[in-house]
Amino acid sequence: MHQKTILPLIIFFYFFISSCANVADSPNLPISDTALNSSPSVSGEVKKETALNLTAKKVIFKNGLTVLLYENHQLPICAYYTFFEVGGRHEKEGMFGGTHFLEHMMFKKKDFAVTIESSGGSTNAYTSSDFTVYHQEIPVSILPQVIKMEADRMNNLTLIPDQFESERNVILDEKLRDDDQPETKLYHKMMEFAFRNTPYANPVIGTMESIKNITIDSMRKYFKTYYTPNNAVLVIVGDIDTDKTLDLVRASYENIAISPQLKEIKEEMEKDELYQHQWSDNREALLAGNSPTPMFKLVFKGEPVGTRKGMVGDLLAAILGDGQSSYLYQKYVASKKPLLEGVGAHNYTLRKNGIFYIDGQLLDGVSQKEIKRQLLRGMKEMCDSGITERSVQKAKNQYLLNYYGALQTNDGVAHFLGNYESFFEDYNYFKKELEIYNSIGLSEIKGECFNLLANGESIFLSVWQKNKQ
């Protein structure tokens, strides 16, 4: 098990591409070629249009459980994913850090891990601000057993006091290690500042105090509220027979009770006004931490996942900060007078809001004040000259390659399907996204760059062993 943050859901396969056209020839991918488009690419070549072809069997049981099944018969293995719509933002006072704590407790049944690992499979989980995901990669021969065990895990939470306290100590140690990592410390401070007074502000792992105060009774109540079929998406991808697998899933899951209070709780939790940015006048923090040279984040207000502006931000981040040919790298790392050891740009889109940030590590002798000044002063020039037709095309091509690669495994396909179904209640929502990404052009990206970065509000955060906070 491990805690990790789910990064922005950035998927787009429906681009006019030039240099990446041959990728679609791989027989392992759920992607089909379509007609050539007559529009020339940046390099003057004909651009090829590609489309993603993913058709899963989708069934919603009477208790609200959504099931997605996808067959891939290349190897006798499968991926088994369970998405629960519960994460750090759903926690109230007394349960901060409880979703991650509960993730640990869900692995306390010894037969679960033994059955999977003794057969050569693997099992893990992660908790984010929006979701908790439990996943296995297993030989298909043990799929019937795993279905029964996962259904039992959803239906019955075993909380033994000695185990509970032992795991609390494990998580407290994990939290101490987190606090000693400069990258993690900086990330938590970014979430605290950027999402001030919203459910996203609290660290998913919790605080030392909140972890110490979680009780067995509060965890049991939390489990019964959120870890129910009407709050879950089950995805199985691999060497399966859809009809037979569906029968097995139905037999184990369909009679699990729902959470009757969930609908009312979620209606309250999903109100947009709870998640609006509420930045204070204090927009700078220089943290003391174990970093020999300063690490920084320059943070701007972003957009939620699935929105057009959020997708424009995805492309903008790739253009400005993805790789050694990106604008920021060339200007601040590879220039004749470099200021940074490394730099990146990131568009972090969450379910209800988002942020855009630039981060990096200063070279020895460069001051934090100077890099902040240089970055902010250079925003207009960056938005004006740093974004070109070629850089837009390159960003699209690179994302195309990345996601083709991700979908070559059962695990990748299961995660893809489950993410879309969980975020949008429709795994086919990616088709709408593809159309939007394909329609985004140079002028729109430049306009968002000026609006978001050159003219937008910002927060500057850093961590360094010589800082005093």
Strands annotated E in 146-304: 232-238, 284-288, 295-301
Spatial distance between the Cα atoms of 45 and 442, rounded to a whole number of angstroms: 19
**Most confident residue range from 35-39, 209-213, 392-396:** 209-213
In a domain, 321, yes or no: yes
Sort 408 into a burial class: Cβ within 10 Å, 0-12 / 13-18 / 19+.
middle
Record the pTM. Answer: 0.89
pLDDT (0 to 100) of residue 28: 41
User: How many domains in the chain?
Assistant: 2
Spatial distance between the Cα atoms of 414 and 254, rounded to a whole number of angstroms: 21
- Say whether both 223 and 292 belong to one domain: no
pLDDT (0 to 100) of residue 51: 60
In a domain, 408, yes or no: yes
**Most confident residue range from 24-28, 280-284, 352-356:** 352-356
- Say whether both 244 and 304 belong to one domain: no
Residue where a domain terminates, one of 241, 274, 307: 274
Q: Is the pLDDT of residue 416 over 50?
A: yes
- Say whether both 251 and 308 belong to one domain: no
Q: Is the pLDDT of residue 241 over 90?
A: yes
- Say whether both 214 and 87 belong to one domain: yes
pLDDT (0 to 100) of residue 40: 34
- Say whether both 291 and 430 belong to one domain: yes
Residue where a domain terminates, one of 225, 243, 274: 274
The arithmetic mean of pLDDT across residues 1-15, rounded, is: 35
In a domain, 37, yes or no: no
Kindly report, residue by residue over 64-76, the tens digit of the pLDDT.
Answer: 999 999 999 999 9
Q: Are 278 and 196 in contact (CB under 8 A)?
A: yes
Q: Is the pLDDT of residue 48 over 80?
A: no
Q: Is the pLDDT of residue 180 over 70?
A: yes
- Say whether both 343 and 431 belong to one domain: yes
pLDDT band at 54, cuts 50/70/90? confident
- Say whether both 80 and 222 belong to one domain: yes
In a domain, 360, yes or no: yes
Q: Is the pLDDT of residue 459 over 80?
A: yes
The arithmetic mean of pLDDT across residues 82-101, rounded, is: 97
Kindly report, residue by residue over 140-164, the tens digit of the pLDDT.
Answer: 999 999 999 999 999 998 899 999 9
pLDDT band at 23, cuts 50/70/90? very low
Q: Is the pLDDT of residue 286 over 60?
A: yes
In a domain, 149, yes or no: yes
In a domain, 426, yes or no: yes
Kindly report, residue by residue over 328-369, the tens digit of the pLDDT.
Answer: 999 999 999 999 999 999 999 999 999 999 999 999 999 999
pLDDT (0 to 100) of residue 312: 97
pLDDT (0 to 100) of residue 20: 32
More confident residue, 92 or 434: 92
Beta-sheet strand order (sheet of 340-349): 284-288, 458-464, 295-301, 354-362, 340-349
pLDDT (0 to 100) of residue 433: 85
pLDDT (0 to 100) of residue 372: 98
pLDDT band at 42, cuts 50/70/90? very low
- Say whether both 407 and 423 belong to one domain: yes
Residue where a domain terminates, one of 274, 303, 328: 274
pLDDT (0 to 100) of residue 298: 99
**Tell me, what CATH number does 246's domain have?**
3.30.830.10
Determine the distance from the C-alpha atom of residue 23 to the mean position of all C-alpha atoms in its chain, rounded to a whole number. Answer: 25
Q: Is the pLDDT of residue 139 over 50?
A: yes
- Say whether both 215 and 334 belong to one domain: no
Determine the distance from the C-alpha atom of residue 279 to the mean position of all C-alpha atoms in its chain, rounded to a whole number. Answer: 23
- Say whether both 75 and 204 belong to one domain: yes
Kindly state the tokens that stand for 50: 């590609």
- Say whether both 238 and 381 belong to one domain: no
Domain that includes residue 405, residue range: 279-464
In a domain, 186, yes or no: yes
In a domain, 34, yes or no: no
- Say whether both 287 and 185 belong to one domain: no
